Structure formats: structure tokens, C-alpha cells
Amino acid sequence: MKKIVPQVDLIIEVLDARIPFSSENPMLAEIRGDKPCIKVLSKSDLADPELTKQWQDYLEQEKDVKTIALTTEQPEHIRDLLDLCRKMVPAKASSVKNIQAMIMGIPNVGKSTLINHLAGRQIAKTGNEPAVTKMQQRIKLDQGIVLLDTPGVLWPKLENRHGGYRLAITGAIKETAISNDDIALYAVDYFRRAYPELLIERYQLDQLPQDELSLLEMIGAKRGCLRAGGMVDLERAAKILLTEFRSSTIGRITLETPEMMERELVEMAEIRAEKAAKKEARKKKKHGSRD
């Protein structure tokens, strides 16, 4: 990516509107330098519209960044992205020169679907499987825009445990060390606090229990996920909850807000500082014992 950036006029980063923070490339700000950037909030039909608006305002505070929320539910708006590309590169806006745009995003974020809509034909394979796009390719679009498609790569946000959970909840990561039950428990705990009314409505609950385990059990019981002896089958309850979140059957839900992002960035910085301090202390100790 570092090699390609100098050759392009513009960078298009495709983010999942439900997790604009956890699906972003944490290195992008550094890599792009002063190249203009469009952040596409994809699958916006699944996300909370109010929060999508909040995210757009927030992300556009960064210099040379514009955003656009898109969804395949409104394909007629997808090509607005091409107009925005031209606007973002004023030097070439009124010229016949091509605009070279690099497009990037984690697997499963909807990048191939977007490219196919922009091109008006089937170019990239789509699928609900991470990493379908493997090769880099150049795609010529209308309005003199050339897309440089890069393979979808997932940059591990190991530092932020919340990011791992949220990527797993949306299905962006399939093979994870976290069990389905834990993912669903994390999800239901967030829904309980952020979208209580959606849970009550969807699962016909009278009230919400205070802890996530009781809540997931209650949902499982409502759905008849019972094992012999009347115990709730948590694994099945977890599957139902995650499937219904991913299809937005529970409702339009966004898993993180700009405030949450800022808080977590502070936490991450603190953890990093703590680690560095410990390392320093160890070094000193080692050095000291040698003297």
C-alpha cells in the first residue's frame, strides 16, 4: 500500500457502517499523507441511521476526508461516489485526465459489491466469505476514474479487545479464538445498554435482566433453544442472536460511537505506555544486576 499511495490521486476506504472504528485501517492516516480520502460507510441499511450521521460528521473533521453512506438497498446513490471522487481531486476535476483511486477495506465489508455497482457489471467476485478478492486489479469506470483494487486484508487490532469482538459480531472475522457464546454475550450486553427497546420488541421480553448471561438465556428460552432437562442451549441461542443481528432482523444497530472510539483510543494509549514503562523497568533491572 505504501508503494501504491504515491501513484494515486485519491484513497477510498470502505468501512462497515456498523463498525467504522473497528473496520478502519489504523495505519491509513499515516500512510496516506496528504492524499485526499473518501470513507465509504457501507451496508448502511444495517446500521443505526442516527449514528451513521454522527460518524460522518466525526470522520469529516479529519483534513481532506469526506464520507458517503451507501447501501445496495439504494443502488441509485452508489454512483454518487464517482461525483465525489471528481470533487475531491479539483486539479483533475475539469480535465480529461484520469483520476486514479485506490480502494481498500477489510474482507467482507462490501468492497466487491460496491465495485460491481460502480462498474455496472460483474467484475469482482462477491460473497459472504472473507478474502474473496485476492489479486490487485485496475478497473476503468465512468467519469475518467480508474480504481486500483487491493486485496482485502484484515489488520489485527489486537490492542483493542473490543475491536475483535465487534469484528466477530458482524461476521468480518469467522475463525476466531473467541467462542460463539462469548461473542453473543458481548453483543447482547451491548444491545442491552444501547438498544434495549429493540431487544424487548424482537424477543417479546417483559423486562431486561441486568446481566448478559441471563439475557441470552432468556432469549434462548423464548426461542425454544432448550436441552434435555430444560437447560437453555446457549450455543443455539448465540447463533440465533448473531444471525438476527447480521441480517438486521433485530433492528438497525451500530456497534460503536465516536465517543466510544475516543475512550478506547485513550485506553489503548495507556496500555501501550504501561507496557513501555514495564519494559523500561525490566531493562534497568537487568542492567543494574550486571553492575
Ligand X SMILES: Nc1nc2c(ncn2[C@@H]2O[C@H](COP(=O)(O)OP(=O)(O)O)[C@@H](O)[C@H]2O)c(=O)[nH]1
Which residue, 25 or 42, is less far from ligand X as judged by CB?
42
Instruction: Residue 176: name its binding partner from Mg ion, ligand X, none (Cβ under 5 to 8 Å by kind).
Output: none
Task: Tell me the three cell numbers of residue 22.
Answer: 473497528
Give the three-state DSSP class for 81.
helix
Cβ-proximal residues to 245 (8 Å cutoff; 6+ apart), any chain: 169, 187, 191, 253
Question: What residue type is 127 in one-letter code?
Answer: G
Indicate whether 112 belongs to the interface with Mg ion (CB under 5 A).
yes
Q: Which letter does DSSP use for residue 95 in this model?
A: S
Give the nearer residue to Mg ion in terms of CB position, either 52 or 113.
Answer: 113
Residue 110 contact partner, candidates ligand X, Mg ion, none, CB within 5 to 8 A by sort of partner? ligand X
Query: Would you say 114 or 234 has its CB closer to ligand X?
Result: 114
Q: How far is the CB of 143 from ligand X (least distance, A)?
A: 22
Q: Give the total of residues touching Mg ion (CB under 5 A).
A: 3
Are the beta carbons of 157 and 147 closer than 8 angstroms?
Answer: no
Q: What is the rounded distance in angstroms from the CA atom of residue 71 to the CA atom of residue 57?
A: 18
Give the binding range for Mg ion (CB under 5 A) out of 42-50, 63-71, 109-117, 271-279.
109-117
Cell numbers placing 237: 441461542
Q: How far is the CB of 112 from Mg ion (least distance, A)?
A: 3
- Give least dist CB 127 to ligand X, A: 5
Q: Which is nearer to Mg ion, 129 or 280 (CB)?
A: 129
Separation between Cα atoms, residue 168 and residue 156, nearest integer Å: 12
Measured from the CB of residue 13, what is the shortest distance to ligand X in angstroms?
Answer: 12
Q: Which of the stretches 87-95, 106-114, 177-185, 253-261 binds Mg ion when contact is defined by CB under 5 A?
A: 106-114
Per partner kind, with CB cut-offs from 5 to 8 A, the member of Mg ion, ligand X, none near residue 105 is ligand X
Comparison of 154 and 265: residue with beta carbon closer to ligand X:
154
Which residue's entry shows cell 421480553? 205
In the beta sheet, which residues pair with residue 184? none
Amino acid identity of residue 207, one-letter, is Q
Cα separation, 183 vs 237, whole angstroms:
12
Contacts of 201 (CB under 8 A, 6+ apart): 251
Half-sphere exposure of 189 (CA within 13 A, CB side): 12
The pattern of x and - marking residues 178 through 207 that bind Mg ion according to CB under 5 A reads ------------------------------
Strands 37-42 and 145-149: unpaired
The label of the residue with cell 444501547 reads 194
Binding residue for Mg ion, selected from 5, 82, 119, 132, defined by CB under 5 A:
132
Kindly tell me which of 24 and 149 has the beta carbon lying closer to Mg ion.
149
**203 and 237 Cβ atoms separated by less than 8 Å:** no
* Contacts with ligand X, residue ranges (CB under 6 A): 42-43, 45-46, 71-72, 105, 107-113, 126-128, 132-133, 152
Residue 133 in contact with Mg ion, rule: CB under 5 A: yes
Binding site for Mg ion (CB under 5 A): 112, 132-133
